[in-house]
Amino acid sequence: MDPLLVIIILALIAVIVTMMLGLWTMGAGDSRLPPKLGNRIMWARVGLQGLAILLLFLAILLK
């Protein structure tokens, strides 16, 4: 298996995990969690999505 493909799959899994975690923290309404935590996690998701897209473009260019 191509190492770049493995990295892309891991990046996509990271996006899914951070999206689910961000939605959970934003929708939990739990007073134990800082109010801005969900927002920060969602911004991390945006960064991971950008990384995944860049990796996909890199894979296309190298093929």
What is the pTM for the complete model shown? Answer: 0.84
Quick one: pLDDT at residue 24?
87
pLDDT value for 35 = 73
Q: Report the pLDDT value the prediction gives residue 37, as an integer from 0 to 100.
A: 85
The answer to whether residue 63 scores a pLDDT higher than 90 is: no
Delimit the domains of the chain by residue range: 1-6+13-25+36-63
Per the rule left: phi > 0, alpha: psi between -120 and 50, beta: everything else, 54 is alpha
To the nearest 10 degrees (0 to 180), the angle between helices 3-28 and 37-62 is 160
Residue 51 has pLDDT above 70, yes or no: yes
Tens-place pLDDT, residues 4-46? 999 999 999 999 999 999 888 888 776 777 878 888 999 999 9
